[in-house]
Amino acid sequence: MEQILRPIYQERASQESTLGVILVEKREKVSPITDTFDSILLIITKENETSVYTKHYTYLDKKAAMHIVTEKQLKKWLLLGTNRKIVDWLFHGRIIYDRNEFMQKLKTELKDYPFYGRKIKMGMEFAKLIRRYQEGKVFFEGKNYLDAYHHIVESLHHLARLAVLENGLPPEVTVWTQVKQMEPAIYKLYEELVMSDEPLEKRLELLFLASEFLIHSRTKDGARHIREVMEQKQRWTIQELHEQEELRNYSSNLEVFIEYLIDKDLISVESVNTKSEGIFHRYYYVEN
């Protein structure tokens, strides 16, 4: 297979900006990890006209995909954890071209330094967890059990990914396999929710009670990143928080996360007079 694809990646490898090439071959008959393709060529470049460039090929009775990704884009995915299959490709793919051992060093870094971007990833996962959990609870209290079920399943996925990060590993696509070994209590909750014979209302009720404790026990760790960022200034407006380079990655979850942390006394609010009597600006700060 590599011999057939060689002309494709050799053309790229000859270019000075190419840092490395990884070949990923599907491991199952139907492989979502490779987007159902038989082979993936992941080519990392120093720079390119577009941050991600993709081409598809057919050979014999098989199909292959080539992804040319800039180093900057790759590092962003790894930092934020927004492209989980990339981690799988880097771990399980085979290096077939490596300029100055770039790919080997990257793979070693991921294995030996699993805390790469750990705090921001934990913060983002926790913010997503809080939003999903709160929305699920509102649906549950309104007796909209199917909608509540959807949101609590999503919140458990975020809780699972958070638990993997706590253990110093990047969450992979098979996150529940990881969680079953690392945090069996969370795995048990998920199993009971999706497999129990109990009525849905009862399953949800028990799950919300159990999740409350699991979320509460992780709040300080989940808030560590945003609090460290906020300690850089005396006080912040909400717009300044949205525009801060790292916090903008929290996206639409930022405000609900801040309000949750205010409720938990981890972020404080300062009211400042406006020109209108009885109306105040809200500023946010972290007490030293």
CA distance 82 to 75: 11
Q: Which residue has the higher pLDDT, 256 or 120?
A: 256
Residue 30 binned pLDDT confidence (cut-offs 50, 70, 90): low
**What is the pLDDT at residue 111?**
73
The model's confidence at residue 238, banded by pLDDT at 50, 70 and 90, is very high
Confidence label for 103 from pLDDT (cuts 50, 70 and 90): very high
Q: What is the mean pLDDT of residues 72-100?
A: 87
> Using one digit for the tens of pLDDT, what is the confidence trace for 143-183?
999 999 999 999 999 999 999 988 877 777 678 999 999 99
What's the confidence (pLDDT) of residue 225?
A: 94
pTM exceeds 0.75 for this model: no
Give the helix/strand (H/E) hosting 197: none
Percentage of the chain exceeding pLDDT 90? 68
Per-residue pLDDT at 219 exceeds 90: yes
Say yes or no to pLDDT of 126 above 60. Answer: yes
pLDDT at 44: 96
Cα–Cα–Cα angle for 35, 182, 252, rounded to 5 degrees: 60
Q: Which of 153, 133, 136 is nearest to 145 (CA)?
A: 136
CA angle 47, 247, 82 (to 5 degrees): 55
pLDDT at residue 114, as a whole number: 54
| Percent of the chain residues topping a pLDDT of 70 | 96
Whole-number average pLDDT of the chain = 90
Mean pLDDT of 9-38: 86
- Mean pLDDT within 233-256: 93
Of 198, 187, 121, nearest to 160 (Cα)? Answer: 187
Tell which wins on pLDDT, 75 or 146.
146
pLDDT of res. 27: 79
Give the model's pLDDT for residue 113.
55
pLDDT of residue 4: 79
Q: What are phi and psi of 43, to 5 degrees?
A: -115, 120
d(CA 218, CA 145): 26
Mean predicted confidence (pLDDT) in 29-58: 89
Q: Which two tokens stand for residue 237?
A: 């407006």
Phi, psi of 45 (to 5 degrees): -120, 155
Band of pLDDT at residue 130, cut at 50, 70 and 90: very high
Within the chain, which residue ranges are assigned CATH 3.30.460.10?
Answer: 2-112
pLDDT score of 251: 86
Give the residue with greater pLDDT, 20 vs 80. 20
What pLDDT does 112 receive?
A: 66
* CATH node for 118-271: 1.20.120.330
pLDDT at residue 280 above 70?
A: yes
Tell me which H or E stretch contains 253: none
CB 220 within 8 A of CB 164: no
Poorest-confidence range of 6-20, 68-82, 112-126? 112-126
Domain 2-112 falls under CATH 3.30.460.10: yes
**Range list for CATH 1.20.120.330 in the chain:** 118-271
